Amino acid sequence: MEKSGLEGKVVYRHSVVARLSHWLWALALLVLVMSGLQIFNAAPYLDASDKNNPTKRVFAIAGGMPPGETRAVGMVYILGHTFNTTGVLGYTDDGQGGRSVRAFPGWLTLPSYQDLAGGRVWHLFFGWVLILALVAYGIQLIVRKGWRDLVMRPEDFRNLLPMQLYYLRLRKDPPPHGTYNPLQKLTYNIVLFVMMPLIVITGLALSPGMDAIANPLTSILGGRQFARLWHFLLMALFIGYFATHIVLVFATGAWNNIKSMVTGYYHLGKHDGVGP
């Protein structure tokens, strides 16, 4: 592949609203994960059922003193398989300088000590922060016509495999692309237009107040226990997405990527293009 001819050019890539939305998402999702784990600690299990049903349990974290043991242990149950996780999950840091029976450790939850009500307050507040940031980002996409850079085109689907081969170092050059490469476009579409709405919807279905005024929503998801399962799985997918995102930020030029999300200006590389 030839150079794009734009190497070294500085372009204004991210608007003020896009940058603020990006950092608000990062903050909101961090707080939502930590407060969500605090809430999960109050009922540390997931059932594939419309209600609490141990016979359909797919995931659980537990701790205690098993018969014949001289000390407490922590255990994780996944689809019928049991793993000893003492000191990490189940019996771990209690957020107050000691150890106790607790699903997730204190350093991973907000607040660090066991406080269900406090966790719910943090979760609800930053849930609205996330929603407002999403709305603001969506409006600026329409106003600035930024959606044209994100929409998948026929050639993008054909270039998904070549782009993946380039990331795996099995191809010397990436396929031609504009502002975002095909894998970035596909990922952003899935995250923004599928995962984000779903995690908001499943979160609303878990709210007792929402359940009372919009029960069909909870029923469609299979009941509150199933909604918890979907919500937790989506959280795990988001964590995986952000871990991959951070790796790629550093792999493709950490300073340039981070600077562009602070100032808006981006230095085009050898294969970077502009537009769709």
Q: Tens of pLDDT along 182-217?
A: 999 999 999 999 999 999 999 988 877 776 776 788
Same domain membership, residue 244 and residue 226: yes
Same domain membership, residue 121 and residue 258: yes
Mean pLDDT of 124-141: 93
pLDDT at 48: 93
Mean pLDDT of 126-147: 91
Residue 213 domain boundaries: 10-36+116-267
pLDDT at 4: 53
Asked if pLDDT for residue 94 goes beyond 80, the answer is yes
DSSP 8-state class, residue 62: E
Proportion of the chain above pLDDT 70, given as a percent? 97
Same domain membership, residue 17 and residue 50: no
Asked if pLDDT for residue 78 goes beyond 90, the answer is yes
Same domain membership, residue 153 and residue 235: yes
Which of 49-53, 66-70, 151-155, 269-273 is the least confident region?
A: 66-70
Same domain membership, residue 186 and residue 136: yes
pLDDT at 211: 67
Q: Is the dihedral of CA 43, 78, 107, 133 positive or negative?
A: negative
Same domain membership, residue 149 and residue 211: yes
State pLDDT tens for residues 243-264.
Answer: 999 988 888 889 999 999 999 9
pLDDT at 219: 84
> Quick one: which of 210, 212, 232, 195 has its CA closest to 57?
232
Q: Is the dihedral of CA 153, 137, 227, 105 positive or negative?
A: positive
Mean pLDDT of 7-11: 85
Mean pLDDT of 226-248: 93
Asked if pLDDT for residue 176 goes beyond 60, the answer is yes
pLDDT at 2: 45
What would the two tokens of residue 236 be?
Answer: 């795990």
Asked if pLDDT for residue 1 goes beyond 80, the answer is no
State pLDDT tens for residues 148-159.
Answer: 888 899 999 999
Mean pLDDT of the chain: 90
Same domain membership, residue 32 and residue 140: yes
Within the chain, residue ranges assigned H as helices are 16-42, 116-143, 147-150, 154-158, 160-167, 182-190, 196-205, 208-213, 215-220, 224-251, 254-263
Does 240 map to a domain? yes
Which CATH number goes with the domain that contains 250? 1.20.950.20
Same domain membership, residue 141 and residue 206: yes
Asked if pLDDT for residue 82 goes beyond 90, the answer is yes
Asked if pLDDT for residue 133 goes beyond 50, the answer is yes
pTM above threshold 0.95: no
* Residue 177: band (very low, low, confident or very high) from pLDDT cuts 50, 70, 90: confident
Same domain membership, residue 165 and residue 53: no
Amino acid sitting at position 154: P
Asked if pLDDT for residue 97 goes beyond 50, the answer is yes
- Structural domain tally of the chain? 2
Same domain membership, residue 207 and residue 90: no
Does 1 map to a domain? no
Same domain membership, residue 219 and residue 197: yes
Asked if pLDDT for residue 30 goes beyond 50, the answer is yes
Same domain membership, residue 215 and residue 171: yes
